[in-house]
Amino acid sequence: MSVVIPTKDRIDAICKAVASILEQTVLPEEIIVVDSSKNFDSCSFLKDRFTNSVPRVKCIRSDVVLTTARNIGIEHSSGDLIFFFDDDVVLDEDYIKEVVNVFMNDQEGKIGGVMGNIRNLQIDTSSLTAIVKCLSFLDHFGDGKFLPSGLPTYVHGQKGAMQTEFLSGCMSAYRRKVLNEFAFDEKLGKLSGYCYLEDVDMSYRVSRKYVLWYTPLAKLEHHPSMNQKSFYQIAKQHVVNHSYLFKKNMPKTLSTMFAFFMSLLGILLINGFFRRSGKAIIGWFEGTLYVIRTCRHSL
């Protein structure tokens, strides 16, 4: 059993994440940190901080995007189960135990991936933003299935275990046999400079062949930094990466094409007008122009 955590310039966060893994009631055999930091040598700090830790913390320096970092982690891992966490999560002590139990109880080996529950996630399905997301086929809270736009719904907060089609990138675990067939798409980071929706792509492809599972018994906290990207970058990346994944994964029918274009409109409304951000509107238009230039013959 291996844990892979990509990190970049967030030494306090990665230390908290690693510390919570070392306090698990069921420990992994190894923790692999792939450090892409430019402003801080996280590897040296982690080696000093966790010198005598069991399991051993192995740190790899590589200036790469998120999806490439995860693939590097897979290459250097040895476990039959591989857990992927973001560097800004803090696990409850039974998180790994509960996920392992799901895999162990799957006698036929049909379950290819499992995720737990983000217990500090605030869910609001009544806001105007949530309503627009539903109407425009954008990702929102639901039954865990994919929408005709190619975006998922989330099952976070559900009280019972259930099958899903989407695993959150900040806390997913896959069997090695699945990762021998499917890799994280490294093109996503090259398209827009940020691997937005990489978990959507991975989940969609894996869920076409394997069962994915959600267990509310495995809990963690997620503390994402909301100031890392400007509204301009977020809007542009959303359009570019979403368009790429729709082209790559989805059948091109009247219903899916309608849902896709509605989702682009929803991205504009939420990132631009609801946030009252002129930069987000510019980002949306630049992302759309990029898609038209590069994908108009395929969509």
Q: Domain check: are 195 and 290 in the same one? A: no
Backbone torsions φ then ψ of 220, nearest 5 degrees: -150, 170
Domain contains 218: yes
Nearest to 188 by CA among 147, 241, 115: 241
Q: Domain check: are 24 and 114 in the same one? A: yes
Q: Domain check: are 255 and 175 in the same one? A: no
Q: Domain check: are 215 and 241 in the same one? A: no
Q: Answer with the one of 181, 204, 222 that is the final residue of a domain.
A: 222
What is the model's pLDDT at position 226? 57
Q: Domain check: are 169 and 281 in the same one? A: no
Domain contains 100: yes
Q: Answer with the one of 196, 222, 248 that is the final residue of a domain.
A: 222
Q: Answer with the one of 198, 222, 246 that is the final residue of a domain.
A: 222
- C-alpha span between 197 and 184 (Å, rounded): 11
Q: Domain check: are 168 and 273 in the same one? A: no
Q: Domain check: are 78 and 209 in the same one? A: yes
Query: Are 210 and 255 a contacting pair, CB within 8 Å?
Result: no
Task: Identify the domain containing residue 213 by its residue range.
Answer: 2-121+156-222
What is the model's pLDDT at position 299? 46
E strand intervals along 182-226:
211-222
Query: Are 157 and 117 a contacting pair, CB within 8 Å?
Result: yes
What is the model's pLDDT at position 295? 61
What is the model's pLDDT at position 41? 83
Q: Domain check: are 218 and 239 in the same one? A: no
Bridging pattern class, strands 211-222 and 162-164 = antiparallel
CATH of the domain at 114: 3.90.550.10
Q: Domain check: are 241 and 165 in the same one? A: no
pLDDT per residue rounded down to tens, the chain (299 residues): 999 999 999 999 999 999 999 999 999 999 999 999 887 888 888 988 898 888 989 999 998 999 999 999 999 999 999 999 999 999 999 999 999 999 999 989 899 999 999 999 888 777 888 899 999 999 999 999 999 999 999 998 888 999 999 999 999 999 999 999 999 999 988 876 678 899 999 999 999 999 999 999 999 999 987 554 688 888 899 999 999 999 999 999 999 999 999 999 999 998 877 777 788 899 999 999 988 887 655 54
Domain contains 178: yes
Domain contains 161: yes
If one counts the domains in the chain, the total is 2
Length of the chain: 299
What is the model's pLDDT at position 115? 97
For helices 42-49 and 11-22, what crossing angle results, to 10°? 40
Q: Domain check: are 110 and 242 in the same one? A: no
Whether the full predicted model's pTM is greater than 0.85, yes or no, is yes
Domain contains 38: yes
Domain contains 137: no
Domain contains 261: yes
Amino acid occupying residue 263: S
Q: Domain check: are 79 and 209 in the same one? A: yes
Supply 181's token pair. Answer: 């067939």
| Prior bond of 152 cis (ω within 30°) | no
Q: Domain check: are 270 and 253 in the same one? A: yes
Query: Are 267 and 239 a contacting pair, CB within 8 Å?
Result: yes
Query: Are 35 and 9 a contacting pair, CB within 8 Å?
Result: no
Domain contains 18: yes
